[in-house]
Structure 1
Amino acid sequence: MSDILLLHGSCHGAWCWRDLIPALEARGHRVRSLDMPSHGADRTPLAEVTLDSCTEAVVAALGSETVLVAHSWGGFPATLAADRAPERLKRLIYLCAYVPREGHSLVDMRRLAPRQPILKAVRRAADGASYDIDPEHAREVFYQDCPAGTTEYALAHLTPQATLPQTTPAVLGQGHRAVARSYIRTLYDNAIPTEFQAEMARGWPLGDVHEMHCGHSPFFADPEGLARLIDDIDRAA
């Protein structure tokens, strides 16, 4: 079985993997989750958070042969971590995540999508240095198909997201190209359009692109199904 590291998306933290971790552990995996800077239990001030510091946090958490599962914006620091330490990764799994392109920031990538459904849920701080999630739209955008109580649980744990890491262009090397990768596309996603997810994984081998019939938070909506798929991907490696 594998060492699996779970990497959260914007405004979330290690807490969002609450239901997936036991489902993966039941399949024999060693599972860990990470709070990126300023999220969850990490108390880094928002003003100090950069794309580089997020990337370094991921690199520091890698084992010797880790399966890295990156959700949403987590695809950015995950890819850059793979650039810096490809020898420590067994596979990189993008879970409805952004796959960075050279010279593009996350904001640039989002604007390439044909639709911008996430914007209704974004509340920008007055100084522009961060944003958070509007509770009025949280369920519609992130948790529409999740069990009762999920939205309330998430709203109690969501934290502001620093803007700078997401407006910083990715400078890509060759390391990430040596890492095996898979994409899990969510077909009813109200945050990152599913057709844009397909575009980001265009040209990948068919066996490395998978689908789940759920929204943007499969770790809440279908943790057993997600654990089974991650396990299947790992076993097929």
Structure 2
Amino acid sequence: MAEFLLIHGSCHGAWCWRDLIPALEARGHAARAIDLPGHGEDATPAGEVTLEAYAEAILGAIADPVVLVGHSMAGFPITAAAEKAPEKIARLVYLCAYVPAGGVSLVEMRQAAPRQPLLPALEKSADGLSFTARPEMAPGVFYHDCPEETVDWAVPRLCPQPVAPQATPLDVTQRSRALPRDYILCTDDRTIPPEYQATMTADWPAGAVHEMATGHSPFFADPEGLARLLDCIAEGS
């Protein structure tokens, strides 16, 4: 069975994997999640958070090679970790995530999308070092198809997202591209347009791109379905 390390997206923390971890464990896998610097219970100030720090936090949590799952913006840090130490990673899984194009930042990739559904829901901090998701708009962009009690539990846990990691270009080489990798495209995503997810994976083998009929948070909307799909993906590790 596989060992999964789960990496959250913008404004989230390890808490967002609450429902997926037991679903994976029920299938015999080991599954863990971490807070990236400046997220969840990690109190690193926003001004000190970097993409490099994200990658180091991921690698510091790995002993034996893992199936590394990155949600949304975590496509960048999981790729950065793979560039630094590919031997620690058995497989990369991008969950409705940005796939770094190489030489550009996440901000630049977001701007290249055909639509910007997330932008109206974001509010920048006074010092410009972070942004937050407006609580009244977060359910619509992140959780529109999730159970009401889950939405009520999740929204107060959203945290400021440091800007610097998302404004940092990442060089991408065969060190990460040569690893086994899969993409889970969410066809009802209201954060990263599904058509942009398709664009980012247009040159991937057909068998490496999977679809879920959910919004941006399948770990809440359909944790059993996501666990089932990850179980199938891990069989290819």
TM-score (norm 1): 0.98
Which amino acid letter does the alignment assign opposite residue 62 of structure 2? L
Q: 1:17-166 counterparts in 2 under 5 A?
A: 17-166=17-166
Unaligned runs of 5+ in 2: none
Counterpart Cα distance in 2 of 1:182 and 1:97:
11
- Aligned to 1:156, the other structure's residue is in SS state helix
Hey, what does 1:167 align to over in structure 2?
A: 167
Give the CA deviation at 1:62: 2.0
Counterpart Cα distance in 2 of 1:68 and 1:22:
17
Q: Number of residues paired by the alignment?
A: 237
The 8 Å contact of residues 7 and 34 in structure 1, kept in 2 or not, is answered as yes
Counterpart Cα distance in 1 of 2:27 and 2:120:
38
What is the aligned-residue RMSD (CA, Å)? 0.9
Counterpart Cα distance in 2 of 1:140 and 1:172:
33
Counterpart Cα distance in 1 of 2:52 and 2:9:
16
Counterpart Cα distance in 1 of 2:175 and 2:199:
22
Q: 1:202-213 counterparts in 2 under 5 A?
A: 202-213=202-213
Counterpart Cα distance in 1 of 2:40 and 2:32:
14
Runs of 4 or more above 4 Å deviation? none
The 8 Å contact of residues 122 and 133 in structure 1, kept in 2 or not, is answered as yes
The 8 Å contact of residues 86 and 178 in structure 1, kept in 2 or not, is answered as no
The 8 Å contact of residues 139 and 155 in structure 2, kept in 1 or not, is answered as no
- Aligned to 1:215, the other structure's residue is in SS state coil
Counterpart Cα distance in 2 of 1:63 and 1:203:
32
Which amino acid letter does the alignment assign opposite residue 140 of structure 2? E
Give the CA deviation at 1:131: 0.3
Hey, what does 1:15 align to over in structure 2?
A: 15
TM-score (norm 2): 0.98
Unaligned runs of 5+ in 1: none
Which amino acid letter does the alignment assign opposite residue 138 of structure 2? A
